[in-house]
Chains A and B, each alone.
Chain A
Amino acid sequence: MRISRTARRRAFSCAMATFSTASLLLAGCASAPQQPTPDVVRARTLIEQANQGGVQQHAAAELQLAQDKLAAAENAATDKKPAIAQRLAEEAALDAEYATVRAQQVRAENAAKEVREGIETLRREAATGGGSTP
């Protein structure tokens, strides 16, 4: 059976339309990985540096807070809530900085406590005329 020219043309346009729509739909759903915002990048970098710097040892809770907030920021970005995502990312970056400085504080205070106790021991030994000096 011969297909008329008009019928062929119509069939072609129909196919094209379907294809375009489908690709548009696919494009919309697959939502190609969004470019992370500068705030998210900054937060990620600071958290990674904190992890490598052993911040977890002395400020685990504070670092966890930063990580949770970054995850929330990324979720908000995925949910197309850019304003919320940006605020959360900014806060996450600051939380990471806080965790880092807090870990330094705890380390320094631990060292001070050790030295203080060492001095006390030394004083006691010196008072009792204790033996040889190191």
Chain B
Amino acid sequence: MNHEITATRVPGAMRVRARSFVLGTLLIAALSGCATSTPEQIPQVDEARTKVRTLEQDPLAARVATRDLDEARIALTQAEEAQEKRVPTERTVHFAYLARRHAEIGLARSAEARAREEVAQSEDARNRILLEARTEEAQRARSEAAQRAAEAEQARATAQSAVEEAAQLRQEFADLQTKQTDRGTVVMLGGDVLFDTGKSTLKPGATESLERIAAFLKREPDVRVMIEGHTDSTGGDELNRRLSEARADAVKDALADLDVPSQQLNARGRGSAYPVATNATPAGRQQNRRVEVLFSDPRGNFPGEPASAGRP
């Protein structure tokens, strides 16, 4: 048998089949996307990347979460490589999960550090507020004490000036008879100087004293006077009351005639109830027959009496 193997030409039908086969394979290959462009996008990798970027931008991360950030970046790189090499999806997703978790751990550490800082600063704020409150209290106490001291000083000054005013009045009316009473400075106008016995009309000699008083009152418009008439015990109470009242009014009218404003003048009768000497002797009775002019303080008040005592 002759089994010569000669170089034979491929029969035509077989050549066509071979060509279709090659074309077919290429088509399938193309369709299956082996000649590929971009790696498939796995969403977990994008999510992981976003979380890692967030951690990178956290201001505290550099201080408290450097290890977490490093681990996250390593895992993210592994995920991206796996994605590019198109390894089985579950492995890529696994790396992406690790990356995301590392980033979340870093973010939690950052948030914790932030909260701790806030607590520390709040401690400072709390101490500041307490200090301010204590300082305010101390200042309030100091200013209250200062105010009390000022009031005490004022009271002392008032008392001092009262003494000085009394001295001034005494000096003013030095040649007239003045006395200090617990009601203040009183100028005594002896009855005989002013009135005839049993009468309530002023004698001409009374003028000088009254002019002095009038001049003073016109100079000190805030000072008021309480003019009180007194009698001796001669005669009845009712008579003496009316007589003493009339005498006080006479002095008041005389001062008004000397242009002293009426709001500065008060008058009343005291009858014989307040003798300054014995009524048994003529001399004593003479002393009891008098008009007393009580001066207010420069503010118009009579010490020991409510501010608007007496009738104007």
Q: Is the interface of A mostly helix, strand, loop or mixed?
A: helix
A104 within 8 A of B: yes
Min distance, Cβ A15 to any Cβ of chain B, angstroms = 48
B111: which of A94, A109, A115, A134 is its contact (CB, 8 Å)? Answer: A109
B98: which of A91, A111, A134 is its contact (CB, 8 Å)? Answer: A91
Closest residue of B by beta carbon distance from A130:
B133
Give A102 to B130 CA distance when docked, in angstroms: 34
B112: which of A101, A116, A126 is its contact (CB, 8 Å)? Answer: A101
Contact with A along B76-96 (1 / 0, CB 8 A): 000000000000001100100
Q: Is the interface of B mostly helix, strand, loop or mixed?
A: helix
A10 within 8 A of B: no
Whether A122 contacts B129 in the complex (CB less than 8 A), given A94-B102, A101-B105, comes out as yes
Min distance, Cβ A28 to any Cβ of chain B, angstroms = 28
B115 within 8 A of A: yes
Whether A98 contacts B104 in the complex (CB less than 8 A), given A91-B97, A119-B129, comes out as yes
Min distance, Cβ A10 to any Cβ of chain B, angstroms = 52
Closest residue of A by beta carbon distance from B130:
A133
Interface residues of B in 114-135 (CB under 8 A from A): 115-116, 118-119, 122-123, 125-126, 129-130, 132-134
Min distance, Cβ A51 to any Cβ of chain B, angstroms = 18
Which residues in B have their C-beta under 8 angstroms from that of A90?
94, 98
Inter-subunit contact A119/B122 (CB<8 Å): yes
Whether A111 contacts B129 in the complex (CB less than 8 A), given A91-B101, A95-B101, A133-B134, comes out as no
Give A69 to B137 CA distance when docked, in angstroms: 61
Contact with B along A76-113 (1 / 0, CB 8 A): 00000000100100110011011001101100110110
B108: which of A95, A104, A126 is its contact (CB, 8 Å)? Answer: A104
How many residues of chain B get a CB closer than 8 Å to chain A's CBs? Answer: 28
Which residues in A have their C-beta under 8 angstroms from that of B111?
105, 108-109
Which residues in B have their C-beta under 8 angstroms from that of A9?
none
Which residues in B have their C-beta under 8 angstroms from that of A108?
111-112, 115-116, 119
Inter-subunit contact A115/B118 (CB<8 Å): yes
Inter-subunit contact A126/B101 (CB<8 Å): no
Contact with B along A114-127 (1 / 0, CB 8 A): 01101100110010
Min distance, Cβ B86 to any Cβ of chain A, angstroms = 18
Inter-subunit contact A119/B125 (CB<8 Å): yes
Min distance, Cβ A2 to any Cβ of chain B, angstroms = 67
Which residues in B have their C-beta under 8 angstroms from that of A84?
90
Please give 4 more A-B residue pairs, beta carbons under 8 A apart, in addition to A95-B101, A115-B118, A126-B132. A90-B94, A98-B101, A105-B112, A133-B130
A-B contact pairs, 16 of them (CB 8 A): A90-B94, A90-B98, A94-B98, A94-B101, A98-B108, A104-B108, A108-B111, A112-B115, A112-B116, A115-B122, A116-B118, A119-B122, A119-B125, A123-B129, A126-B136, A133-B130
